[in-house]
Amino acid sequence: MNAVQYDKSKRNCFLAFVNKKLSEADGAIKVARSFAARGYTFEKTSFVTYDNSTEIMGALSDGVRYHRNIVIYCPSVMVRTFKDYFQNSLSSEFDGLNILKSPTANVFLLVSDSCGRLTVSDICDFFDKFYGTGYGKAFVKTVGAPRSLLDEALKEAKSVCPELEFTVTDDYGDCSTEITYGSAIPKSVFDGAYRALVARLNGYIYALEDVSLAERLVQLLKLRRMKFAVAESFTGGGVGGKIVEVSGASEVFIEGVNAYANESKMARLGVDELTLKQYGAVSAQTAEQMAMGLVRGGVCDVSVSTTGIAGPKSDNTKKPVGLAYIAVGRAEGAEIYEYNLKGTRKEITQTAINLALFAVYKSLK
């Protein structure tokens, strides 16, 4: 019987050697995602535990037999063993970056527990030259888009261009979708997929480039030549904190008032005592008066206020944990948003911070 012949010309594998007790697989998964962000996926991905010598040898043997490029992710204590194995099997030597190049296979050693010389970027650069391909990136940045809608949008874009790769990162409702595509994809095909994605997410988008929400808002405030102020209750200064992280924010940011207690809301922001008694601190009416108190002070053109219940327990009004009101104040009045947020105290407040920044962005757009 004839031996089976395998075409290894474009087959890549990723072998991660991990200690399952230490959850090292998480690091390996992040590395694999970093390759995907550059447009490179693996025909085979294996997670092998240290204590299974039979599985280790089988993974190494299959790697050499069936694959052209072999990426090894392992701790430093295993490097010497793997170097000896591949140098003997392939009759070639590793270079100073821990790359072995041979006529039949290339091997890359990524060290998981120390700052090795070799990086994912180095390997991807090698792949670019090896395959004669490049890649491109695009971004869609959104706030508050339902996950079901995002999944539908990605599915639609993928139907237009199946070769697209997506990396989605959700930071308390601030969602970054990174799209990676090969240079061989016709521009018209990519543009069609990108337009489909953007159209489905319209209304939640704040940027089509890799910038933060706070950076985009500061840019817009500068463009509009407007001054901005913040009045916060349950977010505890988080909204203002995001703004001052941006270089050049001093050109547009006037002040942040952390009016946590009702006394502060009345004295500092002009919230009416009757409003607090009738509707409560967590109410649309209070949020509106907080925001408009800053605008009427005459030092800002636009403001935002936050008031809500972060938990873990509700206040004595029996309003639910996660109830939040955000108001954007302008000279002509206030826009008020009501949310019922879910999660821990941190998740609720951090999500509200992003929603507040996005509300201002939408008001100015």
In this prediction, residue 9 carries a pLDDT of: 52
Instruction: Write a three-state SS string for 155-209.
Output: HHHHHHCCCCEEEEEEECCEEEEEEEEECCCCHHHHHHHHHHHHHHHCCCEEECC
Q: How far apart are CA 181 and CA 328, in angstroms?
A: 38
Q: 246 in helix, strand or coil?
A: coil
Predicted pLDDT of residue 307? 98
Give the number of residues written for the chain.
365
Strand pairing class (253-258; 174-182): unpaired
| Tens-place pLDDT, residues 28-44 | 888 988 888 777 889 99
Contacts of 141 (CB under 8 A, 6+ apart): 174, 175, 176, 177, 205, 206, 207, 208, 209, 210, 211, 213, 216
Pairing of strands 174-182, 135-143: antiparallel
In this prediction, residue 331 carries a pLDDT of 96
Rounded to the nearest 5°, which phi and psi values hold at 8? -95, 10
> Mapping DSSP to helix (H, G, I), strand (E, B) and coil, where does residue 292 land?
helix
What CA–CA distance (Å, rounded) separates 216 from 86?
49
Burial 178-211 (b: 16+ CB within 10 A, else e): bbbbbeebeeeebeebbebbbebbeebbbbeeeb
Rounded Cα gap, residues 150 and 167, in angstroms? 12
pLDDT tens per residue across span 316-364: 778 999 999 999 999 999 999 999 999 999 999 999 999 999 999 999 9
pLDDT of the residue at 198: 98
Q: What are phi and psi of 57, to 5 degrees?
A: -65, -35
CA 267, chain centre distance (Å): 39
List of residues 6+ apart from 360 with CB closer than 8 A? 217, 228, 302, 304, 328
Tell which phi-psi region holds residue 173, choosing left (phi > 0), alpha (psi between -120 and 50) or beta.
Answer: left
Question: Which amino acid is residue 202, in one-letter code?
Answer: N
Cα separation of 79 and 98, whole Å?
9
pTM of the model: 0.70
Sites in the chain below the pLDDT cut of 50: 1-8
How are the residues of the chain apportioned to helix, strand and coil, as percentages rounded to the nearest 5? 45, 25, 30
Please count the CA atoms within 13 angstroms of the CA of 169 that sit on its side-chain side: 12
Closest to 228 (Cα-Cα) out of 248, 211, 206: 248
**pLDDT of 5:** 39
pLDDT of 1 reads: 30
